[in-house]
């Protein structure tokens, strides 16, 4: 009989795989069909790319957690792992915030031409990725207590 934790791990891994596939199909449609190259679709493409990045990270994380846990929390990659975890977790909500701010500025400042350009969309998307990287920086500098607990937990398994 299968272990219930393995079944849930496989369900998580397959759900993230399906998310990657669907986001990839949607983003390739936006990317390659010229008539979809409008401002709202560029922001939708940003959401898809953020979802792909987050899903790839979490799918790899759960695969490592289930099958290669001794390699997951080593001293040399623990800080980088938590940094990537923080970035990948914050990318999707920040992408929706970026979409909301962009739409808000486009509606409220409808007479200003700058808020209706693709340049403003690119600035919004770039600022989202920069904010995600900056918000995750505390994990680089203050992760040692959490890292020690995870390494002790892994050794006890």
CA 23 to chain centre: 12
Residue 72 pLDDT > 80: no
Q: How far apart are alpha carbons 129 and 136 in whole angstroms?
A: 11
User: How many alpha carbons lie under 13 Å from residue 25 in its C-beta half-sphere?
Assistant: 5
Domain ranges of the chain: 4-156
User: How many alpha carbons lie under 13 Å from residue 5 in its C-beta half-sphere?
Assistant: 5
Tell me, what's the pLDDT at 62?
86
Residue 68 pLDDT > 90: no
Q: Would you identify the CATH topology of the domain 4-156?
A: Rhopdopsin 7-helix transmembrane proteins (1.20.1070)
* Distant-in-sequence, close-in-space partners of 87: CB < 8 Å, separation ≥ 6: 132, 133, 136
Residue 157 pLDDT > 60: no
Burial class (CB within 10 angstroms; exposed 0-12, middle 13-18, buried 19+) of 153:
exposed
- Find the helix packing angle between 78-108 and 39-67, rounded to 10°: 160
Mean pLDDT across the stretch 57-76?
A: 79
* Distant-in-sequence, close-in-space partners of 19: CB < 8 Å, separation ≥ 6: 51, 55
Give the pLDDT band (50/70/90) at residue 77: confident
Residue 24 pLDDT > 90: yes
DSSP 8-state class, residue 157: -
Q: Which residue has the higher pLDDT, 78 or 44?
A: 44
Residue 79 pLDDT > 90: no
117-153 per-position pLDDT tens digit: 889 899 999 999 999 999 888 877 765 655 555 555 5
Give the pLDDT band (50/70/90) at residue 111: confident
Tell me, what's the pLDDT at 78?
74
pTM of the model: 0.81
């Amino acid at each position: 009989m299968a272990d219930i934790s393995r079944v849930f791990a496989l369900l998580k891994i397959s759900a993230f795989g399906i998310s990657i596939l669907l986001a990839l199909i949607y983003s390739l449609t936006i990317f390659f069909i010229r008539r979809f190259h409008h401002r709202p679709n560029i922001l939708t493409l940003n959401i898809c790319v953020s979802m792909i990045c987050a899903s790839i990270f979490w799918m790899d994380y759960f695969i490592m957690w289930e099958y290669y846990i001794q390699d997951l929390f080593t001293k040399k990659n623990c800080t980088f792992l938590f940094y990537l975890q923080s970035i990948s977790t914050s990318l999707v909500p920040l992408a929706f915030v970026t979409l909301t701010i962009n739409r808000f500025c486009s509606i409220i400042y409808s007479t200003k031409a700058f808020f209706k350009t693709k340049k403003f969309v690119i600035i919004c998307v770039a600022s989202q990725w920069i904010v995600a990287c900056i918000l995750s920086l505390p994990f680089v500098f203050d992760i040692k207590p959490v890292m020690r607990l995870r390494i002790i937990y892994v050794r006890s398994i």
